[in-house]
Amino acid sequence: MKPLTATLWLLITALVAALAWCALANPRALVWLPVAALPKVNNPAPVALAVADLSSEERAVAWQQPLFSPDRQPDLARASAASTSLDGLALGGVMLHGKEQWALLRQRDKRALKLQPGDRLDNGWTVQQLTATSVTFQRQGQTQTLNLPVPRLPAPAAAPVLPPSHVVTP
């Protein structure tokens, strides 16, 4: 037997002996502390705070420049600008299989959309047609097409990356 194997067997035997001693020890020798009673807490009922009464001029300012909007533009201006184009949408893939047709889109906020012909976006654009590499949207007589991005390989290097090794044939 190798010395390492003998050492491992001794260690295992010692662990089994310690486990057996713990299991066969007098269980009444253990002393448990009593469970402490928790004090009762009276929670008062929540009080509703009164809302400050604002004048219509103060409310109009808050509506025109929303506090939590990152660019602090009026809501109506942002909504109308967003609805006129498909900026922020990227075509990630198209699935065409018999009658099943799906366009996989990714929005600017990284939210994914799965649309089929006839589905409508929040800004009013409707999926009109799908091809293997594009999706065509229509809205109020206007059409826009999103194409799949075509990956390009980098330009070839002028010199090889690794020079060939010098091998001497026998």
CATH number of 95's domain = 2.30.30.830
Query: Is residue 100, in this structure, part of any structural domain at all?
Result: yes
Q: Report if residue 101 sits inside a domain.
A: yes
- Is residue 74 included in any domain, yes or no? no
Instruction: Report pLDDT for 56.
Output: 80
pTM: 0.43
Q: Which token pair is 161?
A: 């990356």
The answer to whether residue 6 sits within a structural domain is no
Judge contact between 110 and 151, C-beta under 8 A.
Answer: no
Q: Is residue 127 one of the residues assigned to a domain?
A: yes
Q: Is residue 121, in this structure, part of any structural domain at all?
A: yes
Structural domain tally of the chain?
1
Using pLDDT thresholds of 50, 70 and 90, give the confidence band for residue 128: very high
Alpha carbon 80 to its chain's center: 28
Residue 127 has pLDDT above 90, yes or no: yes
Average pLDDT over residues 142-164: 77
**pLDDT of 134:** 92
Average pLDDT, the chain: 79
| Structural domain boundaries, residue 121 | 88-147
User: Is position 16 within any domain?
Assistant: no
- Write the pLDDT tens digit of every residue in 96-122: 888 889 899 988 887 888 999 999 988
